Structure 1
Amino acid sequence: MRAGILYNHIRKDERLIIAEAERRGMEIVLLRDEEISFPLESNPYEVDLVLERGIHHGRALETLKILENFGVRTLNSAACAEICGNKFLVTEALEAAQVPTPRSGIAFTRETALQMIEELGYPVVLKPAIGSWGTLLAKVNDRDAAEAVLDHKQKLGSYHHNVFYIQEFIDKPGRDIRVIVIGGEAVGAVLRKSAHWITHLDQGATLERCEMTTDLGSMAVSAAEAVGGEIVAVDIVESERGYLVLEVEYTVEFSQFSPFIDEQKVAVRIVDQMQKASDIG
């Protein structure tokens, strides 16, 4: 099989995947998103399948769409990338599949955003509809803070600041859970702990081992199915209502969670899924 890997930078994750794929006799074609281009009438890249490993959502999404139009099998699909790249679409997909998730909504003006915040009840979290790594999040504790944050966003003026994605604040126990799902199976989980309400490694969280219970794995798999994801990471929080799914990411970073998640096992399972996808077509 001739497999393409769409990427920004070759990190440890990609090196592990490439090594396992080449061990199985796959021919790997590296497609760096900063260097590729497409004449739209023909595909210049002769590959049977492309594994998406980039960190630039816009480049990844459009490339996946183009490749699929040329008949190339992609992991994940463009449809999955489009959903996972937009928090509102993830929420819609989870709600449609009846996967528990925090109460959320979207508004387009300062006035309607304030109304929705009041309906959800303080505190709430304002997030960019498109964004990652725990950036541009704001916990809003009262009306004064809501008015200030919304005013600032309107003045900033970009698309990201004029679509208001609003989510109830979940008083989690100082941690959340990242679960990796590949091919319909939860293959690893890790706790991310922080005294701050944002429990993300880029925001200073620390890691601990997480037991993969039946309920936890089942919820993660249901979330992956809801967004059509074959290789995804699911973020889950514990609440008074039980487990709730916060987000689903379609570009799975995994070596940073070692040794709490077996990085070699994840690489092997990703290559397994590549072979399965190629066989199915």
Structure 2
Amino acid sequence: MRKLRMCESGKGLLIYKKTDAERNQGFIQMLLEEARLQDISLQLVFEEDLSFGVTGNKLSLTHPISDVGDISFAIMRTINPLLSKQLEQLKITCFNPAYVSEICNDKAVTYQYIAGLGIPMLDTYFVSNETFDGDDLALTFPMVLKQSDGRGGKEVYLVHSVEEILDKLHELPNKRFVLQEFADNPGKDIRVFVLGNEVIGAVLRESTTSFKANYTLGGTVRPYLLNESELELVGRIFSSLKADFIGIDFLLNKQGDLLFNEIEDVVGCRSLYSTSDVNAAALYMDYIKKSIECR
């Protein structure tokens, strides 16, 4: 657990995009209430209302209403590594850190990182409109084409031909993608919720209508109990990454073994709350409080 030196008057920001905050009012209220119960000063602000840059040769951070001059930490529920870096350089500790945001919100970078740990995954290639060569494919159709900066399964496409790949690349010429072999068990995956160095829950997500099992896209969900070897595999990831609160997603091969899929930096908790009595908000605020070492 990372330690943050903070005096009793220290304050924290809970940072969301406005549109994301509208969809996550329940979890926001849980976090704010748990902060109050644990005597943590926490204020919700929207990313769009924060101005940051360099003023008078010094890094700056301002908000039109709130005084952000004495902020000690920020709970980042938005994806903006540049903002996270700015906060960290202003001595504001971010949960999760900027480097976690940089790794986990780019699928190609995530796969590079996880491959370095020797974690099993599907064969994957990094492609773009400029680099893709349809005459030299190492995979067989169907394949899965994923936008590198996509989230929640919304920028993931099942492709059956070179023409389909080219159409999507030409449609989004400035985006980078990963091209991946099709999973043995489509429409099924496992999400593992990790807080610091502890697994706090896992769920099995399934869909009978799509190869994407995301709960927010209509998939069903039920609790999943990780066995010892699966826990060891997950542990190799979180012990290396050293994030604060993430979701790690796995696919399954024909034998039922885990294959790494992706990491959610701003992890949603609906599936965890719907299948267990785990209070993720309370655990997260307790984790943050224990990470704060008063002078």
- TM-score strictly above 0.5: yes
The answer for the alignment partner of 1:7 in structure 2 is 16
Q: Name the structure where helix makes up a greater proportion of residues.
A: 1
Change beyond 3 A, Cα 1:18–1:217: farther
Contact 1:176 1:237 (8 Å CA) reproduced? yes
Change beyond 3 A, Cα 1:93–1:276: farther
Q: 2:33 aligns with which of 19, 23, 28?
A: 19
- Return the alpha-carbon distance in structure 2 between the equivalents of residues 244 and 72 of structure 1: 35
* Corresponding residue SS for 1:172: coil
Which residue identity does 1:89 align to in structure 2? Answer: V
The answer for the alignment partner of 2:152 in structure 1 is 133
Change beyond 3 A, Cα 1:258–1:93: same
Change beyond 3 A, Cα 1:208–1:35: same
Q: Name the structure where strand makes up a greater proportion of residues.
A: 2
Contact 2:221 2:271 (8 Å CA) reproduced? no
Change beyond 3 A, Cα 1:152–1:171: same
Question: Are positions 1:252 and 2:267 aligned together?
Answer: yes
- Return the alpha-carbon distance in structure 2 between the equivalents of residues 129 and 115 of structure 1: 22
Matched ranges for 1:32-181 at <5 A: 32-40=46-54, 41=58, 42-44=60-62, 45=68, 46-54=70-78, 57=79, 60-109=80-129, 112-115=132-135, 118-141=137-160, 145=161, 147-160=162-175, 163-172=176-185, 174-181=187-194
- Return the alpha-carbon distance in structure 2 between the equivalents of residues 113 and 22 of structure 1: 55
* Deviation, structure 1 residue 204: 1.7
RMSD over aligned CA atoms reads 2.3
Matched ranges for 1:253-272 at <5 A: 253-264=268-279, 266-272=280-286
Contact 1:224 1:248 (8 Å CA) reproduced? no
* Deviation, structure 1 residue 123: 2.6
Alpha-carbon deviations, 1:167-192, whole Å to 9, x = none? 11111164211110001111011111
* Deviation, structure 1 residue 278: 2.7
Contact 1:83 1:227 (8 Å CA) reproduced? no
* Deviation, structure 1 residue 133: 1.3
Farther off after superposition, 3-12 or 78-87: 3-12
Q: 2:238 aligns with which of 202, 215, 224?
A: 224
- Return the alpha-carbon distance in structure 2 between the equivalents of residues 71 and 108 of structure 1: 37
- Return the alpha-carbon distance in structure 2 between the equivalents of residues 252 and 136 of structure 1: 17
Aligned length: 269
Q: Which contiguous aligned blocks of 4+ residues in structure 1 show a shift greater than 4 angstroms?
A: none
Contact 1:189 1:261 (8 Å CA) reproduced? no
The answer for the alignment partner of 2:247 in structure 1 is 233
Which residue identity does 2:215 align to in structure 1? Answer: L
- Return the alpha-carbon distance in structure 2 between the equivalents of residues 170 and 280 of structure 1: 49
Which residue identity does 1:76 align to in structure 2? Answer: N
Contact 1:93 1:227 (8 Å CA) reproduced? no
* Deviation, structure 1 residue 50: 0.6
Change beyond 3 A, Cα 1:124–1:113: farther
* Corresponding residue SS for 1:34: helix
* Corresponding residue SS for 2:203: strand
Fraction of identical pairs, as percent: 22
Structure 1 gaps, min length 5 = none
